[in-house]
Structure 1
Amino acid sequence: MKKLFCSGLFAALVSMAPAAAQAAPLYHLVQTVPLGGGIKWDYLHFDAASNRVYISHGTELTVVSAGTGGVIGHVTGLSGSHGVAIDTASGFGFADSSKTRTISVFSLKTLAVSKTIPALEDADGMVFDRPSNQVFTVGGDANALLAVDATHDTALSTIPLGGSPESQVSDQAGSIYVNINDKNELVRISTKTDAITARWPLPGCEGPVGLAIDTVNHVLFSSCANAVMAVVNGDTGAILATLPIGKGTDSADFDPARKLAFSSNRDGTLSVISEVSPTKFVTLPAVQTAPGARTLAVDETSGRIFLVTAKVVSAGPPRHPGGAPDYAFAPGSLKLLVFAPNS
């Protein structure tokens, strides 16, 4: 059924003209999980090995079973939680605290913190690179990337980036890619030498934020503050496409099973980009989610998409000209939204 869904419905949507815009929604809401706690949330991480979703917010990580939607527990004692990285093989996870400039190492079994590691100023997104056994954490205000030895829980090197980094992804084959938000650039870094190997401009992309990767075809998807997604060749830096997305993007992800890239947006939409081929990309009809649902994670097996938002109490001026409103949220109203494909 999944293969039929991919090759049938999505291929039809791509090939059909205006009628595609009237097609049934690609995804539907199947579950809402109350989370409570701090409402200043950031990245989500789906771990396929444990079938868990990790949600960073406020002073904690909330861990949710992707199968049942039940809250498994919390990693506590954080301060300005933004990112999380999971090393299933070792049984440990890593969570950053931007206010204290630290990384907390915690047990995946008990969720208890066993060690803290100094991090960079404005510690933000994180990624675990399995081949090099390193955790990489961006420091937005530090204009740098920190590499941490995941075995010994020690900082290895600080990599200057020449600008303010946002999201990062690993190709799990020797390279890390990082969006440079204030320079409108994409940087490639070797995980063997922890040195920059390429720096590419992103013409037409203002303020790159979210970043996703198709590791098979080496295609990168950079979501931008001016409501476009730049599709980039990960070997050459060539721009393959620039496609419209929703307003207020803060995260991107890729579903390799269905060849779909996503941007989650503050305006309450989920933008969907179909990778028809490694050189052809088409925007599919957006999915209506909820205002403020700006970060996401994808389960490539089930195709489910996880987003976080909270109850809106007011809407202020956009953070960027022409962007989505800057919402204020009710305390304690944080919730996880689970969307499933309409297969």
Structure 2
Amino acid sequence: MTKLFSIFSATLLVVSTSVALRAQDKQYVLDKKIALPGDGGYDYLSIDKVNNRLYISHGTAVNVVDLATEKVIGSIDGMQGVHGIAIDNKANKGFISDGRGNAAVAFNLKTLQKVATIPLTNKGADAIMYDAFSDKVYVFNGDANNASVVNPNTLKQIGTIALGGAPEFAVSNEKGLIYNNLEDKNSLNVIDTKTQKVIKNYPLTPCGGPTGLALDDKNQRLFTVCRENKGMSVVDATSGRVITTIPIGAGVDAVAYDAETKLVIVSNGDGTTTIIKQQSANEYKTVQTLTTQVRAKTLALDTKTHKIYLSAAEFEKGTRKVVPGTFTLLVYKLQ
């Protein structure tokens, strides 16, 4: 029995090791390209996990893709300059930050019909997020160095949070804290959603120009990506200590963390996406530099399928002018 058990255990070990190696060897490959209607600039992407839809900011509109079929199913139009999209399934509403319109635009998640335009007292609406813990929508205003607080039920701005710098991406721990990068201060704010105030500010040295931000809540690790030093810094969310910094591509904007695969995915404007493996809470290794498309700098991660979606367009040489008819959604899968 002892010998048989030993053989069985050894077999299990070999099988387990083989599965782990196969999982580790998987890399992202191009799955498909989806043509999107319209022209103009682009910014954030956002996924509605409940309704299985992807929202893509696009000039004065938001393109909507059904993730089950990966086909365009509609658009939300009539804004002046779209940046981000926040999802509030509790209220069945989405919220769009309209930077040029100084407003947050609410729409029905089922019908995609606009239900309200909420004027904001602060200029430069950019990043936007819904925080389930406080049941509030936060609009981060790059020009005003603050955040507008919106009640998703009354559809009114109810407050302003001074941030002390120009905000970029933000993420919630869904327990009362919101973390937010300050691009011009090379630091990270911790916002208490109960008091609606910044309670801590962490310097991010050697990070310069932090943009995208993601959270590993289990290990209390923040992943902040920085343009100036072309690095992704791993930050202890409890102390603000920068644990390590991993080299990435140029022109970074977004980052996502996949808790199941332990991959940190960083989209860079230079036409690459850096894939980093989390070995442990404090150890990280680049496992792939994925070739994408120049200026494909923002992304969304579908945690169900592990696919990543990046938006991009072709530009007239030496300009920031989009070539008409070239706006595309790039879809990558693990293989």
Please say if residues 41 and 322 of structure 2, whose CA atoms lie closer than 8 Å, have aligned partners that are also in contact.
no
Following superposition, the deviation at residue 332 of structure 1 comes to 2.7
Following superposition, the deviation at residue 251 of structure 1 comes to 1.1
Following superposition, the deviation at residue 57 of structure 1 comes to 1.2
Identity of aligned residues (%): 37
Q: Sort the Cα spacing of 1:5 and 1:45 in 2 relative to 1 into closer, same or farther, 3 A.
A: farther
Please say if residues 38 and 59 of structure 1, whose CA atoms lie closer than 8 Å, have aligned partners that are also in contact.
no
Q: 1:213, 1:315 → 2: CA distance? A: 36
Q: Sort the Cα spacing of 1:279 and 1:115 in 2 relative to 1 into closer, same or farther, 3 A.
A: same
Q: 1:8, 1:234 → 2: CA distance? A: 30
Residue 10 of structure 2: aligned partner: none
Residue 206 of structure 2: aligned partner: 204
1:79-118 to 2 correspondences below 5 Å:
79-118=80-119
Which 4+ runs in 1 deviate beyond 6 A? Answer: 3-6
The Cα offsets for residues 207-249 of structure 1, whole Å up to 9 and x where unpaired, read as 0011111122221111101210111011110111111001110
Q: 1:50, 1:223 → 2: CA distance? A: 29
The Cα offsets for residues 290-342 of structure 1, whole Å up to 9 and x where unpaired, read as 111000000111110000001243146xxxxxxxxxx5431231110110001
- Unaligned ranges ≥5, structure 2: 1-15
Specify which of 145, 150, 153 is matched with residue 151 of structure 1: 153
TM-score, scaled relative to structure 2: 0.91
The Cα offsets for residues 83-133 of structure 1, whole Å up to 9 and x where unpaired, read as 100111221110011111000110111111111112221100111111110
Q: 1:297, 1:118 → 2: CA distance? A: 27
1:254-273 to 2 correspondences below 5 Å:
254-273=257-276
Q: 1:312, 1:6 → 2: CA distance? A: 43
1:42-53 to 2 correspondences below 5 Å:
42-53=43-54
Please say if residues 168 and 210 of structure 2, whose CA atoms lie closer than 8 Å, have aligned partners that are also in contact.
yes
Instruction: Describe the SS at the equivalent of 1:8.
Output: helix
Equivalent position amino acid for 2:147 in 1: L
Equivalent position amino acid for 2:108 in 1: S
Please say if residues 208 and 227 of structure 2, whose CA atoms lie closer than 8 Å, have aligned partners that are also in contact.
yes
Q: 1:285, 1:27 → 2: CA distance? A: 8
Instruction: Describe the SS at the equivalent of 1:114.
Output: strand
TM-score, scaled relative to structure 1: 0.89
Residue 62 of structure 1: aligned partner: 63
Please say if residues 171 and 218 of structure 1, whose CA atoms lie closer than 8 Å, have aligned partners that are also in contact.
no
1:145-294 to 2 correspondences below 5 Å:
145-226=147-228, 227-294=230-297
Q: Sort the Cα spacing of 1:94 and 1:5 in 2 relative to 1 into closer, same or farther, 3 A.
A: farther
Q: 1:148, 1:7 → 2: CA distance? A: 45
Please say if residues 54 and 64 of structure 1, whose CA atoms lie closer than 8 Å, have aligned partners that are also in contact.
yes
Q: 2:194, 2:302 → 1: CA distance? A: 29
Are residue 339 (structure 1) and residue 335 (structure 2) matched?
Answer: no
The Cα offsets for residues 254-275 of structure 1, whole Å up to 9 and x where unpaired, read as 1111111111111111111211
Please say if residues 224 and 249 of structure 1, whose CA atoms lie closer than 8 Å, have aligned partners that are also in contact.
yes
Relative contact order (C-alpha < 8 Å, sep 6+): which is higher?
1
Q: 1:65, 1:171 → 2: CA distance? A: 27
The Cα offsets for residues 60-85 of structure 1, whole Å up to 9 and x where unpaired, read as 11110112111111111111100100
Following superposition, the deviation at residue 38 of structure 1 comes to 2.8
Residue 18 of structure 1: aligned partner: none
Q: How many residue pairs were aligned?
A: 318
Q: 2:65, 2:226 → 1: CA distance? A: 29
Q: 1:341, 1:181 → 2: CA distance? A: 32
Equivalent position amino acid for 2:232 in 1: M
- Unaligned ranges ≥5, structure 1: 14-24, 317-326
Following superposition, the deviation at residue 7 of structure 1 comes to 3.6
Q: Sort the Cα spacing of 1:315 and 1:264 in 2 relative to 1 into closer, same or farther, 3 A.
A: farther
Specify which of 4, 21, 31 is matched with residue 8 of structure 1: 21
Q: 2:180, 2:104 → 1: CA distance? A: 19
Q: 2:287, 2:278 → 1: CA distance? A: 10
Equivalent position amino acid for 1:35 in 2: L
Specify which of 318, 322, 326 is matched with residue 329 of structure 1: 322
Following superposition, the deviation at residue 148 of structure 1 comes to 1.2
